[in-house]
Amino acid sequence: MNDVWVSLEQVEPGVQRLRIERERALNALNADVLDQIEAALDRAEADPASRVLIVTGQGTKAFVAGADIEAISRVDNEAAALAFAERGQRLFRRFEESALITMAAINGYALGGGLELAMALDFRIAAQTARLGQPEINLGIIPGFGGTQRLSRLVGPGQALWMISSGEPVTAEEAKALGLVDVVVPADALMEECLRHARTLAAKAPLALAAAKRLVLGSRDWPLENGLHREAEAFSQLAVSADGREGTQAFLEKRAAKFQGR
């Protein structure tokens, strides 16, 4: 039986926390950990009350320090290496496509696959002590879980190429200046800051949250006219939904809206 390395718990109404608990290996990702992350994501998505998912690592040293290098060293053919890379890419893509709003609580090193995981989430809040980077070049390889693609979208091609080619990490404050993380806080305030933002988001209309996420992320790939059409369609559907009716009526009646996700 495999060790249990991932936990999922409800920390507040509408807010769940997925924690990678492989602290002795700096929460490194191997095939078993990826499977357990996906199983936890399945459970979070199956909860109809779930709105926000916070992802973090166990301990204070690492969010996720990367893919398991020992496991990578045992890969002896291209087919196996391709399967491992595509496994990670599929999982991280699922976070992007999830109706849940996802948030990385970056409590320490977010390197290699760890940074790739964080970049696949919707928001990134980092402790001041965190360090972020793509050091795969030092192993003679490159990022394989989406790093070359998402990093360039977040910080621009030039900075992404420098980080990937040099392998040099950046501090949390440098990452914020680059647009790689959204908020930086003292390490002891990290989870409360994440929960503060999560509470705000969990109180919003879930259908509208999911539509906003889908449209904003899709805008990276759609022509403008296509995106505008999709936006108008989503707006029209939400305007006549029960939540849309409730939200506008609550505003007119000067009361808090009670959204139900329909």
Catalytic positions are: 116, 136
**Furthest-apart CA pair in the chain: how many Å?**
66
Q: Which of 14, 144, 123 is nearest to 68 (CA)?
A: 144
Pairing of strands 123-127, 101-106: parallel
Q: How many residues does the chain have?
A: 262
End-to-end CA distance of the chain: 41
Q: Which of 210, 131, 232, 214 is nearest to 176 (CA)?
A: 131
Contact 203, 247 (CB under 8 A): no
d(CA 209, CA 78): 40
* The token pair that represents 1 in the structure block: 């039986």
d(CA 110, CA 64): 5
CA dihedral 237, 242, 245, 250 (to 10 degrees): -140
| Positions of E strands within the chain | 6-12, 15-20, 52-57, 62-64, 101-106, 109-111, 123-127, 131-133, 170-171, 183-185
Amino acid in position 142: I
